[in-house]
Structure 1
Amino acid sequence: MKMNRRDALHRIVGISSVAAGATLMGGTAMAAGMDTGYKLQPKEKLKYVPLDPMATAKLAYESGNGCMFQVFHSVVTMLARSESVDAEKFASIPTALAAYGFAGVVGQGTICGNLNAIGMLVNILDDINGQNSAVVDATFRYYEHENLPWSNKEFVDGIGSTEEKTALVGSSSVANSILCHSSISNWSRESGLPFVKKGERCYRLSATMAYVLVELLNKAYEGQKITELDGTTVSELTKQCQMCHNASEPMTPAASVKTNMECKTCHTGHFF
């Protein structure tokens, strides 16, 4: 068969393109890049199965690219590797989208990326014994009230960090808020370190929150009542505020409020 110059050129370009594409799409890159036709839809829920909290925390610590990405990517990746019936669906989720949440949403100091990730993740999980909302509440309250990040030896060894790096953390601190702004400010005051030195501290904080989240999800899966665990619900003071400043029938002239955040961090007056 005769082939003119134009046909030959097209044939060469076609073969070269296929070869280059095969090289770029080889192995796992090919699997990750292929369009399987599946896309997670709004209100669609995926099945959770228990994960190893320390392995998830280690992956979060190693992932980098900001706190929101670290938590969201680590848990989604572990679920993609799990025995969940939706493992392949978890694998299709583009976790890189979560990278916007660093430093309280692109550096704005609003909601901490760790908590932003937890909300996004739990929202796509299928009902876990009716406790999904309780898990979100529990992780948010834990972040507000506990001395973080963890720096005990077992945890440091488990995530693959070192005692030498603990010095870079400075001091653990209590955020008293779900805001990155408050969390970092309180840490800075306790440690005497500026925002730009937060690296190791925030890497460990993401690892800590990934561990806490998985542990709570596992307990919910096992049927434990999350609301009966210590420190998992709003404080007594916040409950008092919600009696008047509630979402449905506020006591006149109180403003109607929908929040579970700690009130006294930002507000004064009335009873405190």
Structure 2
Amino acid sequence: MNLDRRQAMGKIVGFAGAAAVSPAVFAADTCPVDGAIGLGSDGGADLGANLLAYVELDPFEVAKRAYEGYVRGGCMYGVFNAVVKELAAQGHEDACNFAAIPTNITVYGGSGVKGWGSICGCVNAAAMIVNILGGVDQVAVIGAINRYYEKTPMPRGDDKFMNYIGAPIFHNDAGELLTPDMIGQSTADSILCHTSVSHWSAASKYGGAHKAKYERCAQVTAEVAFKTVEFLNQALKGELTTDPELEMVAKGNDDCYGCHTGTKREPDTYIGSDVNSFMECQTCHAPHDVTSGLTGMHADATCSTCHN
């Protein structure tokens, strides 16, 4: 269902007027929100029938919005808000539907979901927006984004990109702008926030609570937003191809999957713990000799042994 701006405003005014007569008009079964946005609330089949139209966007414009958005609401908000607001600004058939999406709902995803260091808000946001878009191969786009984040040294830090998004804005303790040579680059080897930030901190020698971390994450937010739109634009044209280095299943997982892929085994045929994941295994799990079990320098260690 698509509404132009005048129709949408008419519905809003109509319901506001009715509310003055009876508060019951705002009961869940009479609210216009589901119909206005067009996404529905009845699960996957319902969503699949009501996807919103994606139109080609300028990745630089989206990256700029994302960089600015990071300061207001963190990484997940930065990416999600940037793509949604840029789609709303295009004036196409679903512009009002995109404008109706409350992007503040994504603020929870910062710092790996309220500080838990789990999935990075950038890729969480990218998957969330791609999930409601029609006309693109959602699985391919989300896979490309996740693998890019996992395997690419970030942030990019080139002059054209930095100038366009208006970076940097954060300063070090001496009051100097945190330039790309100070921020450096690192490869996350994971889509988890804590792994990504820890690898960057080790490479840059900045503590995770330093302003340099915020500058780095703001730039990563802009870069993921940029790549999300690049992949979406390619998918819209049927041109999204997978880089062999960024393929859906990490090559390093081949040996692991011999025992740890998802199965339908029952106890009498069980071999080893099943894992259902496209993520790179050996970022966190070292290869092991299956005849000897997991031994070595970490055998009796806990996280706090090294990370305190």
Give the TM-score normalised by the residue count of structure 2.
Answer: 0.71
Q: Which residue number in structure 2 is paired with residue 254 of structure 1?
A: 272
Deviation string 1:191-217 (CA, Å, 9 cap, x unpaired) is 111111211111101000000100000
Give, in angstroms, the shift of residue 68 of structure 1.
0.3
Q: Secondary structure in 1 aligned to 2:80? A: helix
8 Å CA contact 2:77–2:109 kept in 1: the answer is: yes
Offset at 1:236? Answer: 1.2
One-letter amino acid of the structure 2 residue matched with residue 140 of structure 1: N
Match of residue 75, structure 2, among 55, 60, 67? 67
Pairing of 1:1-272 with structure 2 (within 5 A): 34=12, 37-39=32-34, 40-42=39-41, 43=47, 44-63=50-69, 64=71, 65-128=73-136, 131-162=137-168, 164-166=177-179, 170-197=183-210, 198-227=213-242, 230-249=245-264, 252-270=270-288
| Structure 1 residue 231: Cα displacement | 1.8
Task: Determine helix, strand or coil for the equivalent of 1:264.
Answer: helix
Q: CA deviation at 1:72?
A: 0.2
1:256 shift after superposition: 2.5
Secondary structure at 1:177 match in 2: coil
Partner Cα distance (2:276, 2:149) in 1: 19
Query: How far off its partner does 1:85 sit?
Result: 1.8
SS across alignment from 1:173? coil
Q: Is the 8 A contact 1:245 1:257 kept in 2?
A: yes
- Distance in 2 between the 1:271 and 1:159 partners? 48
Residues 271 and 262 (structure 1 numbering): CA distance in 2 closer, same or farther, change over 3 Å?
farther
Aligned mates of 1:91, 1:229 — CA distance in 2: 37
Name the counterpart of 1:23.
Answer: none
- The 8 Å contact of residues 250 and 279 in structure 2, kept in 1 or not, is answered as no
The one-letter amino acid paired with 1:186 is: H
**2:19 corresponding residue in structure 1:** none
CA shift, 1:82, in A, is 1.6
* Distance in 2 (alpha carbons) for counterparts of 1:149 and 1:222: 27
Offset of 1:83 from its aligned partner? Answer: 4.2
Distance 1:153 1:123 in 2: 32
Cα distance 1:240–1:74, how it changes in 2: closer, same or farther (>3 A)?
Answer: same
Instruction: Measure the CA separation in 1 of the matches of 2:90 and 2:257.
Output: 40
**Residues 228, 175 of structure 1: alpha-carbon distance in 2 compared, 3 angstrom cutoff:** closer
Superposition RMSD in Å: 2.5
Give the whole-Å Cα distance in 2 for the aligned partners of 1:111 and 1:168. 27
Query: What is the CA distance between 1:252 and its match in structure 2?
Result: 4.4
| Structure 1 unaligned blocks of 5 or more | 1-30
Q: Tell me, in whole angstroms, the C-alpha distance in 2 between the residues paired with 1:107 and 1:127.
A: 34
Q: Which segment drifts farther, 103-112 or 234-243?
A: 234-243
CA 1:242/1:134 → structure 2, altered by over 3 Å: closer, same or farther?
Answer: farther
Question: Counterpart of 1:147 in 2: which secondary structure?
Answer: coil
Measured in 1, the distance between the counterparts of 2:76 and 2:238 equals 28
* Separation of aligned partners in 1, 2:289 and 2:62: 42
1:254 CA displacement? 2.9
Distance of 2:254 and 2:132 partners within structure 1: 28
